[in-house]
A and B are shown apart, each in its own frame.
Chain A
Amino acid sequence: MTLLEVKNIKKIYSTRFGGNKVQALTNVSFSVEQGEYIAIMGESGSGKTTLLNILASLDKPTSGEVVLSGKSIMTISEQQISAFRRDNLGFVFQDFNLLDNFSIEDNIYLPLVLAGKNYDDMKQRLQPIVQQLGICDILNKFPYEVSGGQKQRTAVARALITKPQLVLADEPTGALDSHASDGLLRLFDEINAAGQTILLVTHSVKAASHAQRVLFLRDGEVFHQIYKASQTQEQMYQKISDTLTVIATGGEHHG
C-alpha cells in the first residue's frame, strides 16, 4: 500500500518583489510504501531541505501535490495543519531540537501535551518507547545534562510517541560521533522492522546504506534511485558511493 505520494513537486523561491527567482525543486515525484525505509541523498543545494519542509507541511510547493494515505496535504487548512503534523508525522532533526527548559521526559511528551492527551495516557505510551530506546534512567534529566546520542534518542522517542504514519529524519546522524551514529542507525532498523515507515534525508553514505531504497536528488530533480533488495549493507554502501561519484563527476541522467 502506498503511504506517501509525491507528485510533480515544483518549488520556486522568489524575492518579495519577484525580482530574483530561484528554482529549488524542478520536478520531483516518488512514492513511499507503507513500512518502507527510504533515504534521500543529495549535495548541498540539491533541494533536500526544501523537499523535506514540503513533506513536513512546513512549506507549500509552487505546484504539485503531496498525498499522505490518500489525503492531499495541500488541502488541509491553516488551522488544522499543526494538528495534522502532530498526529501524522514524527520529526528527528540534526541538531535534536530539544527544548532546554523541559526535562527529557517532558520533551518526549511535548507533542502529546499539545494534542491535549491526559497524563496517565501519556505515561502509558512512554514506557515501552523509552525501554526500547534505552533512555529510562535519564528521564528526569535536562537536555544539557545528557550526551548527543541520548539527546537524539530522546528526539526519536518524541517522534515515535504519537505513533505517526511517517517519521521524517533530517540528517539525524549529522551531529553524532560514529559510535552514537551506529547506535541510532541500528535503532532506525529496529523501528522499521517493527513496521514504522521512515524517510531519511542525509549526506552520509553510511546512514543511507541502511535504507531499503535510496533516492538521489540533483538540481531539484530525482536523478537516480537504487534499491537494496537482497544486497548486504556493504554492497549497498559501495553502490551508493559509486552513484555519488558519478553524480559528482557529471554523469548523464539514467533514472
Chain B
Amino acid sequence: MGKSGFYPKLAVSNIRKNSRFYLPYLLTCVATVAMFYIMSFIASNPGLQDMQGAGTISAMMGFGTVVIGIFATIILFYTNSFLIKRRKKELGLYNILGMGKRHIAKVLFFETVYVTVISLAGGLLGGILFSKLVFMLLLRLVDFKVTLGFNISLQAIQMTLVLFCAIFLLILLFNLFQIKLSKPIELLYGGNHGEREPKTKWPLVVIGILTLGGGYFLALYIKSPIAAIGMFFIAVILVIIGTYCLFTAGSIAWLKMLRRNKKYYYQPRHFSAVSGMLYRMKQNAAGLASICILCTMVLVMVSTSVCMYIGVEDALNLIYPRNVQIYLYECQDQAYQQMSTIVKEEVAKSGLDAYDMVSFQYYQEEDDWNRSLFIGNKMAEALTGEIPGDNGQDYPPNAYLGFNLPGSDGAPSQLLDAIRTRLTTELAGQYDTYESETRSLMAGNIYSAYGGFLFLGMFLGLLFLLATVLIIYYKQISEGYDDKQRFEIMKKVGMSRAETKATVRSQILTVFFLPLIVAVIHIAFAFKIITKLLAVLSLTDISLFISCTGVTILVFAIIYCLVYMFTAKVYYRIVS
C-alpha cells in the first residue's frame, strides 16, 4: 500500500478513536437523512393525490420537508461545531508533528466522505424501510384506506442526496476554513483557554424581562381569536428573544446573587456547583436557551395536534350540528316559512327519512368570526326555545334549516339538487344567496387536515426531541472533559466520591431541568392564546386541551429524565 492509502486510513482511525463524539453525530446524520427521505417520499407520493383533502396534506408535507431540511442543516452544523472544537487539539498535534494544513485538509476530506457515505447509505436504507410504515400511519391518521405496494421514490432519493451532499460539503468547507484560519499553537490549546468570569449585562437582563413580559402579556390579554393568530407570532418572537436574553444575562445575574449570599454559597454542595455554572454560563446559556425553545416547540406542537385530532369529532358536531344544512341569506319572513315546507316535501319525495329538522332565523353579528361555530350556538338557543332577537337591522335576517338523514353518507346529490332548484325558482327575489353543505363531504377534509397536522406535529416533534437530546448530550460530554481537572483538584483537596457525585448531580440537574421548567412556564402562559387559536379551528373543549398538554408534558419529562440519567452517567464516568 502506497502513500495514497495513508489519509483514508488515518481518517478511519480518527472516526473510530473519537467515537464518543462521532457516534452520536453519525446517528444524527442517519436519522435526519431518514426523516428527510420519509417526509419527501410522502410529499411526493402519487397515492396522496387520490385522497380527500389531498391538497392540504401535500401542502403540509411539503412544508414539513422544508422544515426538516432547514432543521437538519442547523442540527448538523451545530453538532459539527462541537466536534471540530473538541478535535482542535488533535489536529494541532498533527500540524506540529509535521503535517501541513493541506494534509490535515485531506484527512478531513476523507472523514467527511466517510460520514457522508455512511449517513446517506444508512439514512436512505432506514428511510426506505420505514417509509411505508410511516405512510401507513399517516393514512390511518387521516382515515383514508388505500392499498399500497412497496415502492421507492426516486425523486425523494434524489432530493435527499442533493440536500445532504450540499450540507456535508458546506460543513467540510466550514471546517477547512476553521483550520486555515488557526495557528498550530491555537489548535493545540483550542479546547481550553482560560475563560474569564462573565460580567452581568444588566441591559440584556432588562431587555429580557421586558420582551418576555411583553410576550406573556400579549398571550394573556388577547381578546379576539382573529387577532390571536397575528399576535401569536409576535408573542412567540418576543418570548424567544426574552428567553435568550434571560438565559444569557439573567442566569449570570441570578448566580452572582446566589454567590453573594454567603450562607448559601459556602456549603459543600452549592460552592462548586454555583461557581462552576457561573464560570460555564457564557458557553452554556445559548445552548440552554435553545433547548428551552425546542422543548416549548415540541410540547406546543404535539399537545395541540393531539388535541385537535382527538377533538375532531366534537368540532365536526359543533360546525355541522346537522347532516345537511341549508342557508338562505337575507331571507324574507314569508320565504322562511315556505322554505321548510319545500324541503320537507322534497325529502318526502325522495323517500328518505329525515329527522331532527331544525330551522331558525338569525342575524349574523359583525364580530362573529366563525360562522359555523356561531350557527352551533344559535342552534342551541333555538332548541332551548329562545327566539333569535330582532336587533333592529333594516335588512331581513338569515334563515337556517338543518336535518339529519339515516346513515352517514349524507344526502344524495339528487335530493340536494331538487331542493336547490325549487328554492331558487319558487322563492326567487325573496332572499340574497343560497348555500347548502353536507357534513360527510366536509368531514373527510377535516379529518385529513387534522390527521395530517397530527402526523406533522409528531414527526417534527420527534425531530426537535432528537435535537434537544443531542444538544444536551454534547454539552454534558464536553463539559465533562472540561470539569475533569476541576474534580481531580477537589479530590486532592479532600472532596469525597459521594460529595463529587452530589455536586455533579446538583449541577447537571439545574442545567438539565431549568430549560424544561421554563418551557412549562412558557406553555402555561401560552395556554390562553392557544385555546383561542384552537377555537378558531372550532375546538372549544378546554379540558381536553388541558389533559393533552398534561400528558404530553409528562411523556416528554419521562423521556427527558431518561436522557438525563444516561448523560449524567457518561458525564460522571468522564470526571471520575
Known contacts A100-B195, A101-B279, A114 near B494 by CB under 8 Å: yes
Q: Which residues of B contact A58 (CB under 8 A)?
A: 491-492
Check if A86 is an interface residue, CB within 8 A of chain B.
yes
- CB of A162, distance to nearest CB on chain B (Å): 8
Q: Which residues of B contact A101 (CB under 8 A)?
A: 197, 272, 275-276, 278-280, 486
**CB–CB A114/B266 < 8 A:** no
Q: Please determine whether B498 and A79 come into contact, CB atoms closer than 8 angstroms.
A: yes
Asked if B494 and A86 sit within 8 Å, CB to CB, the answer is yes
Question: In the bound complex, do residue B262 and residue A119 qualify as a contact, i.e. CB atoms below 8 Å apart?
Answer: yes
Q: How many residues of A contact B (CB 8 A)?
A: 33
Measured CA separation A244–B491 after assembly (Å): 34
Asked whether, in the complex, the Cβ of B492 is within 8 Å of the Cβ of A91, the reply is: yes
Closest A residue to B483 using CB positions: A101
CA distance A81 to B498 in the complex (A): 12
Are B494 and A116 in contact, CB atoms less than 8 angstroms apart?
no
- Name B128-147 residues within 8 Å CB distance of A: none
Provide the residues of chain B in CB contact with A110, threshold 8 Å: 271, 490, 493
B406 within 8 A of A: no
Cβ contacts under 8 Å, A246 to chain B: none
Q: Chain A at the B interface: mostly helix, strand, loop or mixed?
A: helix
Residue B436 lies at the interface, judged by CB distance under 8 Å to chain A: no
Contact between A86 and B266 (Cβ–Cβ < 8 Å)? no
Could you mark each residue 128-149 of chain A with 1 if its beta carbon is under 8 Å from any beta carbon of chain B, else 0? Answer: 0000000000000010100000
Q: Is the CB of A82 within 8 A of B279?
A: no
Check B276–A86 contact: CB distance below 8 A.
no
Task: Identify B494's interface contact among A98, A115, A118, CB under 8 A.
Answer: A115
Is A83 an interface position by the 8 A CB rule? yes
Number of A-B contacts (CB under 8 A): 78
Establish whether residues A111 and B266, one from each chain, have CB atoms under 8 Å apart when the complex forms: no
Q: Which of B491-515 contact A (CB under 8 A)?
A: 491-499
Known A101-B276, A144-B196: A113·B492 in contact at CB below 8 Å: no
Q: Which residues of A contact B275 (CB under 8 A)?
A: 99, 101-102, 106
Cβ contact within 8 Å between B268 and A113: yes
A111:B494 contact, CB within 8 angstroms: yes
**Residue-by-residue, is B267-292 near A (CB-CB < 8 Å gives 1, otherwise 0)?**
11001100110111000000000000
Residues of A within 8 A of B272 (CB): 99, 101
Q: Is A122 an interface residue (CB 8 A)?
A: yes
How many angstroms from the CA of A100 to the CA of B486 in the assembled complex?
A: 9
Q: Tell me the nearest residue of chain B to A112, going by C-beta.
A: B266
A85 CB-CB contact with B under 8 Å = yes
Smallest Cβ distance from B511 to chain A, in angstroms?
15
Q: Which residues of A contact B492 (CB under 8 A)?
A: 56, 58, 85, 91, 93, 97
**Is A109 positioned at the interface, with any CB of B under 8 Å from its CB?**
yes
> Taking the complex as formed, is B148 at the interface, i.e. its CB lies under 8 A from any CB of chain A?
no
Could you tell me if A82 and B263 are in contact, using CB atoms closer than 8 angstroms?
no
Q: Output the nearest chain A residue to B259 by Cβ-Cβ distance.
A: A106
Across-interface contacts of B486 in A (CB, < 8 A): 99, 101
A151 within 8 A of B: no
**Would you call B266 and A119 a contact (CB within 8 A)?**
yes
Q: How far is the CA of A87 from the CA of B194 in the complex (A)?
A: 31
In the bound assembly, the distance between CA atoms of A119 and B266 in angstroms comes to 7
Contact A144-B266, Cβ < 8 Å, known A91-B492, A111-B494? no
Does A10 make an interface contact (CB < 8 A)?
no
In the complex, what distance in Å separates the CA atom of A105 from the CA atom of B497? 24
Cα separation A117 to B486 with both chains bound (whole Å): 21
The interface residues of chain A lying within 8 Å CB-to-CB of B266 are: 109, 113, 117-119, 122
**Is there an interface contact between B489 and A99, defined as CB atoms closer than 8 Å?**
yes
Docked-complex contact A100 and B493, CB < 8 angstroms:
no
Q: How far is the CB of B506 from chain A (nearest CB, A)?
A: 14
- Least Cβ distance of A158 to chain B in Å? 7
With the chains together, A97 CA to B293 CA distance in Å? Answer: 38
A-B contact pairs, 15 of them (CB 8 A): A58-B491, A58-B492, A98-B489, A99-B272, A101-B278, A106-B271, A110-B490, A111-B494, A113-B268, A118-B263, A119-B262, A119-B266, A144-B194, A144-B196, A158-B493
B residues adjacent to A (C-beta < 8 A): 194-197, 262-263, 266-268, 271-272, 275-276, 278-280, 486, 489-499
Give A residues with C-beta under 8 Å from B.
56, 58, 78-79, 81-83, 85-87, 91, 93, 97-102, 106, 109-111, 113-119, 122, 142, 144, 158
10 tightest A-B contacts by CB?
A: A86-B494, A82-B496, A101-B279, A144-B194, A119-B262, A97-B489, A101-B275, A113-B271, A85-B494, A119-B266
Given pairs A100-B195, A101-B280, A114-B493, 13 additional interface contacts (CB within 8 A): A81-B496, A82-B499, A91-B493, A97-B489, A99-B490, A100-B194, A101-B279, A106-B275, A113-B267, A113-B268, A116-B268, A144-B196, A158-B493
